[in-house]
Structure 1
């Protein structure tokens, strides 16, 4: 099973994705950590992003080839990128999308804090929000607050077990 956790910077997607991966004993592939490993100086250009997503896809294929579940964690803000993963991971276990959202005030507060793995600030958030392409396929949408990780994980687990193809 491959679970693509996506959302805007500061939405809480990485916090959620890491806990979901732990709970499922899945491989967690985080774009921010990968970017730091791949590039000494990060520019967030389209070319750099393409390299990061390509490496994420290769690592996901390797993990699924070993019958491991995978949680992918990135903005995935463009349909083209999402489609690349759907086409690239042709495995019988399926691909599930979980979108993490939060209100802008919460996002602004989160992005003001030092975050060890992400360099995204509110300007990056606004830029990606402007480029955002909604996913028009069945997926789970979870609203992140600062106090609901347990409920988010419970909803995700239920969705992954009982996926009926309907938007949640």
Structure 2
């Protein structure tokens, strides 16, 4: 099973994705952590983003080949990028998409705080927001606050079970 957790910087997607991986006992691949490990002096250029998402794609393909579940955590803000992952997974594996959103006031406050794996600030948020291409595939949208992680995990778990039941038939 491949689950792509996507959303804008500061939306809470990484906090959620890492906890969901724990609940599902799935491998966790974070674009922020991969970028930090691969690129010492990050500029967030198009070529850097391509390197990071190629590594995530490689990890997804390896997990599929080895029969492991994986959660991929990144912005996944472009349809062309998402389609690349779908193309490489199907027909062997279904991808489940979960989009995490938050109110802009919450995002602004979150991005003021230092984070271990991401340097994205409010300007990066606004830039990616301006480039965001809405997801066309069936997906779950979760609204993140600072108090609802348990509820988000429960809703996601139910959605994943439902999607798995449908793909098994």
| TM-score normalized by the length of structure 2 | 0.95
Count of residue correspondences: 165
Aligned-residue RMSD, C-alpha: 1.2
Q: Kindly indicate which of the two structures has a greater share of residues assigned to helix.
A: 2
Distance 1:66 1:132 in 2: 32
Distance 2:149 2:64 in 1: 26
Partner of 1:122: 122
Cα deviation, residue 88, structure 1: 1.4
Cα deviation, residue 93, structure 1: 3.5
Partner of 2:23: 23
Distance 1:113 1:91 in 2: 41
Deviations 1:112-139 (A, max 9, x none): 0000110000000000000000002210
Partner of 2:77: 77
Cα deviation, residue 90, structure 1: 2.6
Mind listing any 5+ residue stretches in structure 2 that lack a counterpart? none
Partner of 2:58: 58
Distance 1:129 1:62 in 2: 31
Deviations 1:56-76 (A, max 9, x none): 000111112111101000000
Deviations 1:84-104 (A, max 9, x none): 100112353410000000000
Distance 1:37 1:91 in 2: 31
Mind listing any 5+ residue stretches in structure 1 that lack a counterpart? none
Runs (4 or more) in structure 1 with deviation over 6 Å come to none
Distance 1:120 1:91 in 2: 35
Superposition map of 1:90-105 within 5 A: 90-105=90-105
Partner of 1:29: helix, strand, or coil?
strand
